[in-house]
Amino acid sequence: MIVAGIGLRAATTEATLTALLNRAEETTGQPIDALATATEKATHPALTALAQTRALPLHAVAIDGIATPTQSERINARFQTGSLAEAAALAAAGPGATLTLARITAPDGMATLAIATSQGPNP
């Protein structure tokens, strides 16, 4: 399973998320199977619209304490993990998942995305 973890700010638009997801799919050459974000971000209108438009499941996951290669002091202080996008992707992909695309940032700085891959379906 290939999961795109997404971190986003309150003013993020669906267009920003779509562009970021397209960029990630072009970079990896693989289609995304699911979206994931922190539980408290899962009802964001732009993210739910993206999930609906792409017909992808959206997983709300607990991310605190998940080790990530990318570190943001702001995100660490708020969510107890270095990267919301990386942590969400890893958590949703399940045990043994690996990052296949480290956090990338939208050109407008309003969202981040990372991709994790696992060998099986979401637990």
**Predicted model pTM:** 0.92
CATH number at residue 52: 3.30.420.180
Confidence of residue 122 (pLDDT cuts 50, 70, 90): very low
Residue 122 in domain? no
Q: Would you tell me how many other CB atoms lie within 10 Å of the CB of residue 76?
A: 15
34-38 and 58-61 as β-strands: parallel, antiparallel, unpaired?
Answer: parallel
pLDDT of residue 120: 60
Residue 92 in domain? yes
Tell me the two tokens of residue 110: 């309003």
* Residue range(s) defining the domain that contains residue 95: 2-117
pLDDT of residue 5: 98
Domain tally, the chain: 1
Segment 68-90, tens digit of pLDDT: 998 888 887 888 888 999 999 99
pLDDT of residue 38: 96
